[in-house]
Amino acid sequence: MRRREKFDHILIETTGLADPAPVAQTFFMDDEIAAQLRLDAIITLVDAAHVLQHLNEVKPEGVENEAVEQIAFADRIVLNKTDLVDETTIAEVEARVKAINAPVQILRARNAEVDLKQILDVGAFDLDRVLKDDPSFLTETEHQHDTTVTSVGIELDGEVDDARLNAWLGNLLRTKGADIFRSKGILAIAGSSRQYVFQGVHMLLMGEEGAQWRAGEPHRNRLVFIGRNLDRDELERGFADCLATAGAAA
């Protein structure tokens, strides 16, 4: 960082089986890094010719499937070796990826060649910026398969009570954060004219004010949780209880 005028980006390459969570968490926990750098995107390279066998691999009890977790953490998937498989296999791989991580953008590639503009300075860890380009980013558009690691998307109109939200998220991440790989969302906080944007990795959460709500724009809350053994009904009920009108109704 002392030589920052000499570079535009820092790329951190983990080992093949690394858990990306500790790397991402550094940008939350280290004050010096958080003040000078921002996490732009987590990119995962997926081998189209071999990934299904790894996703289908049955692990011993208590042993995590690293391939599933890396897909769950990704903001961008580079689907490599598409020249070595047929279109049916590619479609199956993409469906499995989306079943794990519904909002992720998939980039097909051969020899890992992709346009760098699609993976550098994309602001994929900046939800406010992502939603300007793709308003449907947090919207689930297809049925999620019944697998251990899934995505749960929630859309609900209304304004959120800040105190109830903090209590709910705090309890959720304290009790189940180990199984929640990523959380992200755009919320309408009661009394605020700006959107509230949050991103989380396991138990760590960061949030900030985003864009102004436009005149006449519906105050629609959109959240996504990606993790293991997620209970959709419980998440939907928990968030619904955070709405300012929920307290009045009770």
CATH of the domain at 159: 3.30.1220.10
Residues 46 and 60 in one domain: yes
Computed over every residue of the chain, the mean pLDDT equals 86
Of 44, 51, 109, the closest CA to residue 76 belongs to 44
Residues 92 and 11 in one domain: yes
Query: Contact, 206 vs 197, CB < 8 A?
Result: no
Residues 91 and 159 in one domain: no
- 14: three-class secondary structure by DSSP: coil
Angle subtended at Cα 82 by Cα 77 and Cα 85, rounded to the nearest 5 degrees = 130
What's the domain range around 43?
A: 4-132
Please write the tens of the pLDDT for every residue from 186-239: 999 999 999 999 988 888 888 889 889 999 899 999 999 999 889 999 999 999
Name every residue whose Cβ is closer than 8 Å to that of residue 247 and which is 6 or more positions away in sequence. Answer: 161, 164
Residues 124 and 221 in one domain: no
Residues 25 and 142 in one domain: no
**How far, rounded to the nearest angstrom, does the alpha carbon of residue 246 sit from its chain's CA centroid?**
27
- Per-residue pLDDT tens, the chain, 250 aa: give them: 788 788 889 999 887 667 788 888 888 788 888 888 888 999 999 999 999 988 888 777 777 788 888 898 899 999 999 999 999 999 999 999 999 998 899 999 999 999 999 999 998 887 666 666 666 666 654 444 445 788 899 999 999 999 999 999 999 999 999 899 999 999 999 999 999 999 888 888 888 898 899 998 999 999 999 998 899 999 999 999 999 886 554 4
Question: In the listed set 115, 132, 149, which residue is the last one of a domain according to the structure?
Answer: 132
Residues 120 and 149 in one domain: no
Angle between helices 162-176 and 232-240 (to 10 degrees): 150
Residues 149 and 212 in one domain: yes
Please write the tens of the pLDDT for every residue from 51-65: 998 888 877 777 778
Residues 11 and 128 in one domain: yes
Residues 142 and 32 in one domain: no
Of 74, 228, 224, 68, the closest CA to residue 148 belongs to 228
Residues 126 and 194 in one domain: no
Question: In the listed set 113, 132, 151, which residue is the last one of a domain according to the structure?
Answer: 132
Query: Contact, 218 vs 158, CB < 8 A?
Result: no
CATH of the domain at 56: 3.40.50.300
**What's the domain count of the chain?**
2
Question: In the listed set 132, 167, 187, which residue is the last one of a domain according to the structure?
Answer: 132
Rounded to 5 degrees, φ, ψ at 154 are -130, 130
Residues 95 and 152 in one domain: no
Residues 36 and 125 in one domain: yes
Q: Is the pTM of this model over 0.85?
A: no
